[in-house]
Amino acid sequence: MESIVVIGSDHAGFTMKQELIEKLKENGFVVEDKGTYSEESTDFSPIAQMVAETVAADERKRGILVCGTGIGMSIMANKIPGIRAALVHDLFSAKATREHNNTNVLCMGARIISPAMSWEIASVWLHTDFLGGKHAKRIQYIADYEENKTK
């Protein structure tokens, strides 16, 4: 099965996003770029929504979002039912958020970390599996809450 990464950024994250796309493709990932497509000022919210909705609709896909800090993207992405987005700026958190939280969207800040670090984080995150077990119960609690609140 091919690994599909849906990626998006605002203007602040555009350059980092482009570098991530290149690294993802070099490493065999299929990439769906949801924008933005330039450094012209743009709102992060619609892009985060588009990436998150695409990921929520297909459990085989994972998303990566980049803005200046990653905060706005993570807030918006987490509004979409079925999304577990994490703001990550270090390797330990990249691994832990996949193992323990089964996150499906990774958010990073282009004004916080270097492009090289963003790739290291993304690589760890993409190559780490969910541990399940006691963590699955916790994730189910979140899913149940979401389902009851969106009815």
Where in the sequence numbering do the catalytic residues fall?
67, 100
DSSP annotation of 128 reads -
Peptide bond into 36 cis (omega under 30): yes
Question: Cα-flanking dihedrals φ and ψ of residue 33, to 5°?
Answer: -95, 115
Nearest Cα neighbor of 10 from 43, 32, 34 is: 43
Exposed, middle or buried, 129 (CB in 10 Å: 0-12/13-18/19+)? exposed
Task: Give the residue among 43, 41, 22, 42 at the shortest CA–CA distance from 33.
Answer: 22
d(CA 134, CA 122): 25
Rounded to whole angstroms, the Cα distance separating 102 from 62 reads 11
Q: Which two tokens stand for residue 43?
A: 């709102």
